[in-house]
Amino acid sequence: MYGLMITKQEHQEVEYLLRREMEEITLDLGDYRIDSSIKKAMEDRYDVLFQLFRRFATGEECLQYMPNKKKQN
């Protein structure tokens, strides 16, 4: 386990960067021109970013960025 001491401004910056990256991935996932294998890698990255975001954001903010889990048949 690692610890991290950051200032309030750094906290806000990290949170902002995570939001931007997750929003960018969400937009790219909707692009039909992107191959499914690339989209899978993007979804995996989104999951990692969301786990980081959960450590910085409130529960209410996390609900906005909650990843959609596809039902597998």
Enclosing domain of residue 42: 35-66
* Radius of gyration of the chain from its Cα atoms, rounded to whole angstroms: 14
The pLDDT value recorded for residue 70 is 58
Domain count, the chain: 1
Q: Residue 46: inside a domain, yes or no?
A: yes
The pLDDT tens digits of the residues spanning 2-54 come to 888 999 999 999 999 999 999 999 999 999 999 999 999 999 999 999 999 99
The pLDDT value recorded for residue 7 is 95
pTM of the model: 0.83
The pLDDT value recorded for residue 2 is 86
The pLDDT value recorded for residue 1 is 79
Residues near 45 by beta carbon (within 8 Å), at least 6 away in sequence: 25
For residue 60, pLDDT beyond 60: yes
Q: Residue 14: inside a domain, yes or no?
A: no
> DSSP of 47-67, one letter per residue?
HHHHHHHHHHS-HHHHHHHPP
